[in-house]
Structure 1
Amino acid sequence: MMRLHHVQYGRSFRVLWLLEEIGADRFGGLDVVEHRIGTKEMGESALRHVSPAVRIPAIEWDAPDGRLEMSESGAIVEYLVECFAPELGRAPGSAERAKYLQWIHYSETQASLIENLNLQMVFLRPPATPSAVVVKLQVARLKQTLRGLEAALPEEGWLLPGGFSAADIMMGFNLFAAPYFVRLEDFPRVSAYKARMEARPAYRRAVEREGPQRFYAQDFYPVPEA
């Protein structure tokens, strides 16, 4: 079966959601190995043999044509779509190919800002304190990416005119995490888009597998006072 190295509601949520969209039975089932981020466990586990940077996500699968080992959420999503769900991608030569790739990688730009905010606001422990200047700058940059997304989204539907795609799946982690740092009330199309994601049966199955989130200790993290 497919083995997914996973941290709850991290970037690996993208892969979990995609596997639910494709159907885990295509891979003989799904074995989710949950890791505890910020502990020695990740470095001491089998993950180090699959992910060069010892980061999630990573997948292992004894495919019919040979063993598959991959890390990096964007690479995994693109590969699985090309091989098992071409309807969720946009093939070379497609009129939507350029925008598809743009949004795949835009989502990673946005995710890197969220990661930096997580490091500052969640991982730091006393006596260390987050930098108000750094957090303010990162929040401003995250808001800018949300403005770009807001301007591009239709009132209904998905990122691409042709319909739901892996580019939307790549955004799933982002729009789960972003509201912990940015209020979405000023982004009505993003909020409606997030609700459309959450209504998809495969998304709901992935969330059910995740269970209640255990990463964030509060509902919102304001910019700290200087």
Structure 2
Amino acid sequence: MKLVLHHAHEARSVRVLWLLEELGLDYELRVHDFFDKSLRSPEYLAINPAARVPALEVDGAVMCESGAMIEYLCERCPEAGLGRSAGDPERMAWLDMLHYAETVGQHLANLTQSHIVLYEPAMRSPTQISLETRRLAKVLGRLELILGDGRDYLMARGFSGVDCAMGYGIDVATRFLRLDAMPHLLSYLERLRARPAWQQAQPPKGAPRIYRKAFYEVPDG
């Protein structure tokens, strides 16, 4: 299987890069800059017309959705045990969490747009940012409940591909939301950050980043 991952540091492509490392697969990494318009080049638009990352080339075919990539790669590598096949008792919960990661991601994308992409203060709506921050807290509250039953990862049987999907989102969420009231979620994130594959997926020193502040406060107003 020949794999080429198109990636930007701290973007959703981290999910797939992390999973590739967990699976121990060989891949080619092509790094793009989130801000320099290279994702809108004719060459990249021929790969992903939406001008976003990730894009994953698999033996010449292209996938553009990170959740689908996670499901596909877990299915291609069943021996790793990071997926849940049809008939598995955890299949329903696994798929639910995989897609719930997109619910979290929706609010993160809106907050990233407001805090970072709309770089002029006059462009931002404090009301909208405040609402999105509260919505993010609400959807993360479900994860706090799930993790509160003593499990280490989202699936009771242990680490899986959905932790790559969701863990990335929780990590980004700490830029916008303090998780002090969610101790199970914080402990979970610490476990994820300690994994060698997670660390391999992080930006190298000096690399361009999307999030240049440790925390983005809700603006006054």
TM-score normalised per structure 2: 0.91
Deviations, residues 158-211 of structure 1 (Å, cap 9, x unaligned): 111111111111012212210111001111100000011111121122226586
| Alpha-carbon distance in 2 for matches of 1:46, 1:210 | 28
Counterpart of 1:172 in structure 2 is 167
Counterpart of 2:99 in structure 1 is 105
Deviation at 1:156, TM superposition (A): 4.1
Q: Is the 8 A contact 1:5 1:32 kept in 2?
A: yes
Deviation at 1:70, TM superposition (A): 0.9
| Alpha-carbon distance in 1 for matches of 2:168, 2:206 | 15
Counterpart of 1:143 in structure 2 is 137
Counterpart of 1:75 in structure 2 is 68
Counterpart of 1:7 in structure 2 is 8
- Amino acid of the structure 1 residue aligned with 2:7: H
Matches within 5 A, 1:73-222: 73-85=66-78, 87-126=81-120, 128-153=122-147, 154-207=149-202, 214-222=209-217
Counterpart of 2:17 in structure 1 is 16
- Amino acid of the structure 2 residue aligned with 1:68: A
- Amino acid of the structure 1 residue aligned with 2:85: A
**Residues paired across the two proteins, number:** 218
RMSD: 1.9
TM-score normalised per structure 1: 0.89
* 1:48–1:147 distance in 2 versus 1, CA, 3 Å: same
* 1:44–1:179 distance in 2 versus 1, CA, 3 Å: same
- Amino acid of the structure 2 residue aligned with 1:216: Y
- Amino acid of the structure 2 residue aligned with 1:78: E
Deviation at 1:213, TM superposition (A): 6.4
Counterpart of 1:33 in structure 2 is 30
- Amino acid of the structure 1 residue aligned with 2:37: K
| Alpha-carbon distance in 2 for matches of 1:151, 1:75 | 26
Deviation at 1:152, TM superposition (A): 0.7
